Amino acid sequence: MELQDTVALVTGGAEGIGRAIAEALAREGSKVTITGRREEAVRNTAEEFRLDWIVGDVGSEDDAVRTVASVIEKHGRLDILVNNAGYGLFKSLVDMTLEELEGVFRTNVFGAFLMSREAARQFIKQGRGELINISSTSGLKGSSGRTAYGSSKFALRGMTECWRDELRRHDVRVMLVNPSEVMTNFSKKAGAEREASDKKLRPSEIADAIVGALKVDSRGFIPEFSVFATNPF
């Protein structure tokens, strides 16, 4: 598809992978709105790249409905939704609380559901749309200490497959992206800080891959892809 003048909404767009995706789409001529919970961070990124911005929590139904409706009201349509908002929590099973597990699912799973539901209603009305869910290679294989994060990404992958089958008949492309280890603040916030390495992925690599997938002619699409560092060792 041609990205010039498309209308895009990127959740969790203030930093990390979301920020890189928003920047890449804007560079291609897309009219980008970013959203996030921290007003200062969202505003600063939006001002830097001349983006629109909305403060909101994707895990709040009211905020999700308001965010999508605001973009559609301003532009008259929505062409691309990137569900990037999410966070990790790395703890052993015996040390995790139900509240912690529910919190991760509130953002990573329920938030993606709420945003996708609202966007899908507009996509169906338009007869077209691009829905991109940012998952993780943690959603492909379980590992120790990732009960919350890994299972949330397994759930996101399952929902994506359901939505893909449901929305294809409306010419809506639903894609899942599985980044491997990317050098952002994600691991530090999740409680598993990693050493910086020039061999690890950068957010720009994920953004470039997504732009490439979107540019595939609309008669076809890439349902799912993973992005690994060539030699991270």
Q: Does residue 149 carry a catalytic annotation?
A: yes
What's the confidence (pLDDT) of residue 194? 64
Instruction: Count CA atoms closer than 13 A to 34's CA, side-chain side.
Output: 33
Give the C-alpha separation, 112 to 87, whole Å: 12
Q: If DSSP states are collapsed to H, E and C, what string results for 144-191?
A: CCEHHHHHHHHHHHHHHHHHHHHHHHHCEEEEEEEECCECCCHHHHHC
What's the confidence (pLDDT) of residue 153? 98
Give the C-alpha separation, 92 to 90, whole Å: 7
Give the C-alpha separation, 40 to 66, whole Å: 19
What's the confidence (pLDDT) of residue 199? 84
Q: Single out the catalytic residue among 149, 154, 163, 186.
A: 149
Listed as ranges, residues in the chain with pLDDT below 70 are 184-194
Each residue of 142-173: pLDDT tens digit? 999 999 999 999 999 999 999 999 999 999 99
Give the C-alpha separation, 31 to 152, whole Å: 30
Structure tokens at 120: 């899908």
CATH number of 7-227: 3.40.50.720
Give the C-alpha separation, 177 to 179, whole Å: 6
